[in-house]
């Protein structure tokens, strides 16, 4: 079984969303069918990146890393203005 870290981009708002799952196809459909509270306002979404891991722990760690990176970039952008 693989665990996936993925990055989605909202076609509507250009916002990015980072998550992890053990079923990438199912999770992508959930995001686009507005069954996820965090992403329903940005639907539709496109998958722009994913990585596969053998360990759920590794996938969670990588997701956390990418989210920190995204939030630090967003904070830096806000502080610029």
pLDDT, tens only, 17-60:
999 999 999 999 999 998 778 888 899 999 999 999 999 999 99
Q: What is the pLDDT of residue 71?
A: 85
CATH of the domain at 60: 3.40.1440
User: Which residues form the domain of 19?
Assistant: 3-80
Domain count, the chain: 1
**Sheet strands side by side (includes 45-53):** 16-21, 3-10, 45-53
Q: What pTM value is reported for the model?
A: 0.88
Nearest to 31 by CA among 2, 13, 10: 10
Q: How far apart are CA 9 and CA 18, in angstroms?
A: 9
Q: How far apart are CA 57 and CA 42, in angstroms?
A: 28
Helix or strand (DSSP H, E) at 10: strand 3-10
pLDDT, tens only, 8-18:
999 999 999 99
At residue 77 the predicted structure's pLDDT band, cuts being 50, 70 and 90, is low
Q: How far apart are CA 44 and CA 19, in angstroms?
A: 16
């Amino acid at each position: 079984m693989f665990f996936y870290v993925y990055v989605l981009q909202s076609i509507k708002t250009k916002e990015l969303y980072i998550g992890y799952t053990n079923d990438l196809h199912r999770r992508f459909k959930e995001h686009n069918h507005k069954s996820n509270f965090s992403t329903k306002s940005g639907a539709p979404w496109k998958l722009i990146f994913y990585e596969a891991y053998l360990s759920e722990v590794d996938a969670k760690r990588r997701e956390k890393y990418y989210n920190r990176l995204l939030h630090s970039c967003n904070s830096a952008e806000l502080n610029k203005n």
